[in-house]
Structure formats: C-alpha cells, structure tokens
Amino acid sequence: MKEKIEEILIKHDPVKLIAMEAPLDEYRQESILINECVTRHFSTESIHKIVYDIFIKQFGGERFAHGIIGPYESYLPIATEIKNLLDEA
C-alpha cells in the first residue's frame, strides 16, 4: 500500500520536488507515515488533514513549512486518491 501512496505523491508532486529533478524516492518517508496513519475507515476529510499534517511536520513544522508545501486545499486531490485506493483494498 505504501508504494501506491508513494506513486500518488509522485504523481501530484505537492512540493514540486520531482519537478526539480529530485530522486523519485523523495516522498518515500511521507508515504510510509501516511500508510501508518490511515485506514479505509477514515473519511476523505480525515485523510486530507493527516496528509497535510505529515507534510507540515516533514518540511519544517508549523513555523516554516507553509511556504514550502503550499496550501491545504492542494492536498485534497491527494487525499481523495488515497481514500479511493483504501476503499479498493
């Protein structure tokens, strides 16, 4: 499952790391953390918050990350795809 979550993160490239030619495993840690935190019983809204909070933590915390990771709303498509993935499992 974490590999599929990683594929979703690479596809959406929320921090634009892949666009800057970072290695394709750049979102591996985030995918592992997301996989550990979500289940198919979570709502899309819950997954949305979890994904965003993980990116906040991974990219410097509340004080620094907002300018790096982009707006909360941009993580909704990622959460929706993860929810769909979980529902199919």
pLDDT digits 0-9 by tens, 19-66: 999 999 999 999 999 999 999 999 999 999 999 999 999 998 877 777
Average pLDDT over residues 64-87: 93
Cα-based distances in Å from 26 to 40, 43, 57, 84: 25, 26, 15, 23
Q: How far apart are CA 40 and CA 31, in angstroms?
A: 15
pTM value is 0.93
Closest CA to 14 of 60, 83, 71: 71
